[in-house]
Amino acid sequence: MVDALAGWVGVTVFVLAGLLALGLEARDQVLRAGPARDVVPERRRSPVLGWLLVVLVVAALAAVAVRFAVYLG
């Protein structure tokens, strides 16, 4: 499990985090941004995705720590 987390699981987490961040960014750009947008954004329609991104980023950082520990330990 540790080896997997240091390897392909970690890569997968990175890919998922990157894709989700890109997806959220694209959603914000295409659906929410606009010339008239001069105010603080309203609440996101789906805060769950935002929190999921946070979890994935934390998991990615954890995967980095595990990989360092496995290879250097």
Residue ranges binding other proteins (CB under 8 A): 10-11, 14, 17-18, 21-22, 24-26, 28-41, 57, 60, 64, 67-68, 71-72
Can you state the percent helix, strand and coil of the chain, rounding each to 5?
75, 0, 25
Distance CA 66, CA 39 (A): 42
Nearest CB to other proteins, comparing residues 1 and 54 = 54
Nearer to other proteins, 1 or 38 (CB): 38
Query: How near is the Cβ of 30 to other proteins at its closest, in Å?
Result: 5
Task: Please report how close the Cβ of residue 19 comes to other proteins at its closest, in angstroms.
Answer: 9
- The residue among 1 and 59 lying less far from other proteins, judged by its C-beta, is 59
Q: Per the structure block, which two tokens stand in for 50?
A: 């935002």
Exposed, middle or buried, 68 (CB in 10 Å: 0-12/13-18/19+)?
exposed
